Structure 1
């Protein structure tokens, strides 16, 4: 389980939030059944590590006045141009109550259709699930080794634990193998057609 340490803060002005970010701190809020809406500040490097490894994982957060609490990231706000994180919403969860989240799909194996020249096309890299927090997997494995040309794998075909309820549309295509496209042969230009006709006429003349 990832860990984050939060520092409590009061409401900040726009300039104060900007100053925080230059110091490697990210403004955030945490809320839930056990925690009222609490403004906090977290370390940017620690947050980046969590976002890079598993942004949907359970996080043990040490919140001032509330102690250690299990939380999940509810929303990440990024700068429209630079794409750096400017604010995060954390939701405090209860470990004995199901939560809805997304989980990464891990495609494994070499598809038979690819060996025949087909093109692997992945439609979804994540799916939505619902289960107890402790049952959330790091990823769900999708074996593509038996996929042939023109075949696909649907959400309904995923193999998951009985403790996990898949919320994504069962009919959604996760991955498919496309048949290789034949290279289009461009028609001859008028000049090329004329040159070919002349060459054929010369060949016929030489045979006489």
Structure 2
């Protein structure tokens, strides 16, 4: 199980009250679920940021006033566009005995043979969508790229899923590729400029 967060009850508030809440280091939020319906809450901003940095898709034990500790997952995060300050958080209550659909990070390890030969590793997908029981959801899916040669593609279907976990992203989605470095083409004009001028000589 992931980390535990303690939620505070939050009555429906005015804009000024929500602003004050944020100034006091709290993030307004909501939690939804079959057992609890919906509840307005507030979470400590530092604890929430720590969770978002370490594993934003983790299962969280959320201590909800009046409902006790419930397993939840983050459903939506709202941030201020420029400062990226947390504005609002939504949690979804889950059933530990029912599969959930979520996204997890892809972590590439090792150094590809193609990179050693001068190629460039370009990552196109940092996360994949999976489905499985909550207790089996990994914090990340790892893949050793050591065997990738220049020009190779790593597809989502090439990733090894843990037991009990189903890949829901399209198997043909490209996760990463080893790009072949582009050689600079020299134009005919550049070649002419680079060549020394040949002077015509007349023999008498």
Give the aligned partner of residue 80 of structure 1: 81
Give the aligned partner of residue 169 of structure 1: 170
Give the superposition deviation at 1:188. 4.3
In 2, the alpha carbon distance for the partners of 1:160 and 1:129 equals: 9
TM-score (norm 2): 0.92
In 2, the alpha carbon distance for the partners of 1:176 and 1:117 equals: 13
Question: What is the 5 A alignment of 1:83-122?
Answer: 83-122=84-123
In 2, the alpha carbon distance for the partners of 1:98 and 1:150 equals: 37
Give the aligned partner of residue 67 of structure 1: 68
Question: What is the 5 A alignment of 1:12-161?
Answer: 12-161=13-162
Give the superposition deviation at 1:186. 5.1
Give the aligned partner of residue 5 of structure 1: 6
Query: Unpaired segments of 5 or more residues in structure 2?
Result: none
In 1, the alpha carbon distance for the partners of 2:193 and 2:185 equals: 17
Give the superposition deviation at 1:187. 5.2
Give the superposition deviation at 1:156. 1.2
Give the aligned partner of residue 196 of structure 2: 196
Root-mean-square deviation (CA), in Å? 1.9
Give the superposition deviation at 1:161. 2.1
Q: Deviations over 1:175-203 (max 9, x none)?
A: 111111112335547x947x932xx32xx
Which one has a larger percent helix, Structure 1 or Structure 2?
Answer: 1
The DSSP-based 3-state class of the residue aligned with 2:7 is: strand
Q: Deviations over 1:118-157 (max 9, x none)?
A: 1111111110000000000011111111111111111111
The DSSP-based 3-state class of the residue aligned with 1:145 is: coil
TM-score (norm 1): 0.90
In 1, the alpha carbon distance for the partners of 2:46 and 2:163 equals: 36
Q: Deviations over 1:37-60 (max 9, x none)?
A: 100011000100000100000001
Structure 1 residue runs of 4+, over 3 Å off?
A: 186-189
